[in-house]
């Protein structure tokens, strides 16, 4: 029913929200060089694509969103972002493992082949992009930089006013300074991340509703039937297009279609290499459309090439 789509969209967004909140806490910690943020700085080092690819294998859509936001704030390179996106499979691995229609040997082979292929492909694509772009992180959008600078100016101005007030009234001394610092830290490390998480969460909810109702009116059965009839050499072209849909349902459709014999392994792999769950949405959220479209186009071409290569290898062996 229609309300099932609404419920699913709310649940998917609620499951993502803790990731968003922790993400913005992490971003603040990284930008202010705190002890909490330093361990995560490993993602910005030369082994970032390898770590990102391993992280993307975890069957949770929150990691691709985290990678997109870290890229937007210039904490990871485009190679690390691509590695996370390439390795991400959302719920596909879980669907394949618990599908009752597949024999256990086929399940294990498929899941292990997907994990191994996506890990290697993610690492390879990540280091290749970092080599081409010399490991540069994304530039900070102008409005974000302005807002950040403006925030520092506000803090400095508030501090100056507080200093003047302290000189005028001796009663307002060390206790007031401590209270002001405490309030600033609460705003910086709690209120600001919470507001950012709510903003992105609302955007994700709207997108989940839009794509959820699209699948509802079209029907997953219709999509699966269409994929079954596309043919061996057309599937690697169409599966990445489905994988590029920024919704967790896309990976589920690909996995279920493979489980019923609707697509070959090459189509499944190509679609899941392109699939990055809600990561694309997070990348498009704050004025990064040009970079987002370039990355999406590159991921589509990468997924198509991987799909055709996998199907060709299957015929040889």
Q: What percent of the chain stands above pLDDT 90?
A: 27
Lowest mean pLDDT among 161-170, 256-265, 287-296: 161-170
Question: How confident is the model over 214-263, as pLDDT tens digits?
Answer: 778 877 677 777 777 778 889 999 999 999 988 777 888 898 889 888 89
- Are the C-beta atoms of residues 305 and 267 closer than 8 Å to each other? no
pLDDT band at residue 284 using 50, 70 and 90 as cut-offs? confident
Spatial separation of the C-alpha atoms in residues 315 and 23, rounded to whole Å? 43
Containing structural domain, residue 61:
2-316
Does 172 score more than 50 pLDDT?
no
Spatial separation of the C-alpha atoms in residues 279 and 187, rounded to whole Å? 27
Does 175 score more than 50 pLDDT?
no
Spatial separation of the C-alpha atoms in residues 55 and 73, rounded to whole Å? 19
pLDDT band at residue 211 using 50, 70 and 90 as cut-offs? confident
Mean pLDDT score of the chain: 78
- Kindly give, in sequence order, each residue whose CB lies less than 8 Å from that of residue 293, ignoring residues fewer than 6 positions away: none
Question: How confident is the model over 73-129, as pLDDT tens digits?
Answer: 888 899 999 999 999 987 888 888 887 678 888 889 999 999 999 999 999 999 999
**Which candidate, 268, 171, 283, 175, places its Cα nearest to that of 227?**
268
Number of domains in the chain: 1
Angle between helices 220-228 and 248-259 (to 10 degrees): 50
| Residue 127 Cα to chain centre, angstroms | 18
**Which candidate, 60, 83, 73, 64, places its Cα nearest to that of 26?**
73
Does 156 score more than 60 pLDDT?
no
| Residue 39 Cα to chain centre, angstroms | 20
Question: How confident is the model over 123-155, as pLDDT tens digits?
Answer: 999 999 999 987 655 544 444 444 444 444 444
């Amino acid at each position: 029913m229609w309300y099932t789509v609404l419920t699913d969209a709310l649940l998917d967004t609620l499951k993502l929200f803790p990731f968003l909140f922790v993400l913005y806490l992490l971003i603040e910690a990284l930008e202010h060089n705190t002890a909490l943020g330093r361990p995560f700085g490993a993602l910005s080092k030369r082994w970032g694509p390898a770590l990102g690819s391993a992280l993307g294998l975890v069957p949770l859509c929150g990691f691709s969103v985290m990678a997109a936001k870290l890229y937007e704030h210039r904490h990871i390179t485009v190679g690390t972002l691509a590695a996370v996106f390439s390795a991400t499979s959302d719920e596909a691995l879980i669907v394949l493992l618990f599908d009752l229609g597949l024999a256990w040997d086929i399940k294990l082979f498929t899941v292990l082949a997907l994990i191994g292929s996506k890990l290697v492909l993610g690492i390879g694509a990540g280091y290749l992009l970092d080599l081409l772009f010399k490991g540069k992180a994304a530039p900070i959008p102008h409005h974000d930089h302005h807002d950040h600078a403006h925030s520092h100016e506000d803090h400095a101005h508030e501090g100056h006013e507080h200093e003047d007030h302290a000189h005028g009234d001796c009663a307002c001394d060390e206790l007031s300074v401590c209270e002001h610092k405490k309030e600033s830290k609460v705003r910086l490390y709690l209120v600001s991340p919470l507001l950012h998480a709510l903003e992105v969460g609302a955007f994700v909810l709207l997108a989940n509703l839009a794509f959820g109702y699209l699948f509802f009116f079209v029907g997953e059965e219709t999509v699966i039937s269409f994929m079954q009839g596309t043919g061996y050499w057309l599937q690697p072209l169409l599966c990445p297009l489905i994988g590029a849909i920024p919704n967790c349902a896309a990976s589920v459709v690909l996995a279920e279609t493979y489980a019923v014999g609707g697509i070959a392994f090459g189509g499944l792999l190509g679609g899941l290499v392109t699939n990055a769950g809600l990561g694309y949405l997070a990348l498009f959220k704050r004025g990064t459309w040009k970079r987002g479209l370039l990355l999406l186009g590159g991921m589509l071409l990468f997924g198509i090439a991987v799909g055709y290569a996998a199907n060709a290898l299957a015929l040889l062996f």
